Amino acid sequence: MKKEIGIIGIGNVGSMLLRKFTEFNIFREENICVANRSEEKLESLSIKYPDITICKNNIELTQKCKNILLCVEPLNLPDVLMEIQPYTDSEAYLMVSTSMVAVEDIQKFHDGGITIFMPTLISMVNGGVTLAYHNSRADNNQKTFFHNSLKQFSEVKILEESDINICQNMTASFPGFFAEIMLEFVKSASVKSRNVSDEELEHMLLVSLLGASRLLLEKNMSFEETINRVSTKGGITYEGVKVFEKSLPDVFSEALCASMSRYKEITKIASTDIDKLKSQK
């Protein structure tokens, strides 16, 4: 009998998904298979989750599972797809946790349902947005399976594949971007502060950020409305906002261009690697 779900790759993404699946009882431990290159990591998992099935390799997992989560690095994905291809059929459902390998390239190895998705670190605290794209061969049951697997700890947003590159900057990449922006803000404030520590400045900023997010979401306030309410012309906030308004557009445009350019570069490298693998077969 096939297990409900298998996870190949127990890094940051795979381990987070496994934790959430068991935390919310989305899948019972005995219905989950895992495989990973590091045996040490698998040993620790077997202690924490004694009833999950630890597979000795990706092939064993593929043979045991119909629904397979591929949570490996983008440039490692071609080799994994090549490895498991002989053991999957059109009934298998592949959910790939990176959009940096194009679905047309994944379909060179699999002619069944495929969902590519961009998870977010924010799901660790049951929030954030997971971007996803279903290929034309994913049926309604598979789409529902994917949505039900993630909806309890993340908002699932279905997009066209071409839209994921820009949108992942607002979701999966956001924690890193946000942390860097806030870190630089704290550094600047620290230089001008005499008696308040960096830790205190960071705490005040985070509490204020949490409150601001709730205010915007719960009161359905736009960014512009919030600025207008807080920023009175001639006041201290107004003077700071004017500086941000002048300087930030170029900073954000440059950051987005760099991120999107690297995204395309990785996609191209993965596509080339896949074509090489297919030609050697």
pLDDT in tens, 172-221: 999 999 999 999 999 999 999 889 999 999 999 999 999 999 999 999 99
Which pLDDT score, from 0 to 100, does residue 140 have? 97
Residues marked as binding for NADPH? 58
Residue 38: closest CA among 71, 10, 68: 10
Which pLDDT score, from 0 to 100, does residue 280 have? 82
For the chain, which residues score pLDDT lower than 70? 1, 281
Residue 55: closest CA among 8, 2, 4: 8
Which pLDDT score, from 0 to 100, does residue 281 have? 65
Residue 127's identity, in one-letter code, is G
Instruction: Locate CATH 3.40.50.720 in the chain.
Output: 5-160
In the sheet with 114-118, reading across from the earlier edge strand, the strands are: 53-54, 32-35, 5-8, 67-70, 93-96, 114-118, 129-134, 155-158
Report the C-alpha gap between 216 and 209 in whole angstroms.
Answer: 11
Q: How far is CA 274 from CA 8, 135, 270, in A?
A: 19, 18, 6
Residues marked as binding? 58
- Give 5-160's CATH code, choosing from 3.40.30.10, 2.120.10.30, 3.30.2010.10, 3.40.50.720: 3.40.50.720
Which pLDDT score, from 0 to 100, does residue 91 have? 94
The answer to whether the CB of 171 falls within 8 A of the CB of 131 is yes
Q: Which residues does residue 8 pair with via DSSP β-bridges, in sequence order? A: 35, 70
Residue 108: closest CA among 133, 136, 87, 78: 78
Q: Outline where 36-139 has alpha helix (H).
A: 39-48, 58-64, 77-84, 103-106
Which pLDDT score, from 0 to 100, does residue 3 have? 74
Report the C-alpha gap between 275 and 89 in whole angstroms.
Answer: 20
* Contacts (Cβ under 8 Å, ≥6 apart) of 3: 31, 32, 33, 53, 64, 65
Q: Which pTM does this prediction carry? A: 0.89
